[in-house]
Chain A
Amino acid sequence: DIQMTQSPSTLSASVGDRVTITCRASQSVSTWLAWYQQKPGKGPKLLIHTASNLESGVPSRFSGSGSGTEFTLTVSSLQPDDFATYYCQQYNNFSTFGQGTKLDIK
């Protein structure tokens, strides 16, 4: 199984900050990597697929990069609606998720 490790597990930031979340795979997943946002009591929302492709309707302040085993999700200027938990997911070989990064207000 491919293991996905996110860092940090928790991130405290303020509105307007630029933040980056890292996701590492235990073996190469090429660019078969997605990012999701989840708010309490809700199903996850797709933000990015294929490592850097922004899903339709997702604000352009979100961006993704990387390939192989190392990936990043960046939010260029945090908005109040962005405080949530973020998950990376590899889909090169079935599907596994990272453990999540909780982004909260500083």
Chain B
Amino acid sequence: QVHLVESGGGVVQPGRSLRLSCAASGFSFSAYGMHWVRQAPGKGLEWVAVISYDGTNKYYAESVKGRFTISRDNSKNTLYLEMNSLRPEDTAVYYCAKDGWKAAPVSYYFDYWGQGTLVTASS
């Protein structure tokens, strides 16, 4: 079955960087767009970024544009999120999520989610 496992979260000072990873299994990873979605403590869900199945197209929420970079390695079935210039308001659980449509275009609904990894930007 589909399995998504995030890693790389932790406590980081504001202004510093962190890279998250998401290991995927149980489906043809290279055939699906992938997303990052975050949830601040006790709050709702916020879509962060998407990457197409082949990595050629990437889109970001305005709140992270220019600071975060999404990427993927289809040979390793792994999704990444490079987060730079972290701010206290970036503190959240970060989920990777599989897009609901195969190949292109991405649908922007999410049929499988990981368990999440907590990022805390605090001094």
Residues of chain B having any CB pair with chain A under 8 Å:
4, 35, 44-47, 59, 61, 95, 97, 100, 107-116
Contact = CB atoms under 8 A, between A and B. Distances in A.
Interface stretch (A18-26, A37-45, A59-67, A70-78): A37-45
The dominant DSSP class at the B interface is: strand
Interface residues of A, number: 21
B43 to A, nearest CB: 8
A45 B4 CA distance: 13
Contacts of A97: 44-47
Contact of B47 (A36, A45, A95, A99): A95
16 contacts: A32-B109, A34-B109, A34-B110, A41-B115, A43-B4, A43-B115, A44-B113, A46-B111, A91-B107, A94-B61, A94-B108, A95-B35, A95-B108, A96-B47, A98-B44, A100-B44
Contacts of B113: 43-45
Given A36-B110, A44-B113, A49-B100, 12 more contacts: A41-B115, A42-B115, A43-B97, A43-B114, A43-B116, A45-B113, A49-B109, A49-B111, A87-B45, A94-B59, A95-B109, A97-B45
The dominant DSSP class at the A interface is: loop
Interface of A: 32, 34, 36, 41-46, 49, 55, 87, 89, 91, 94-100
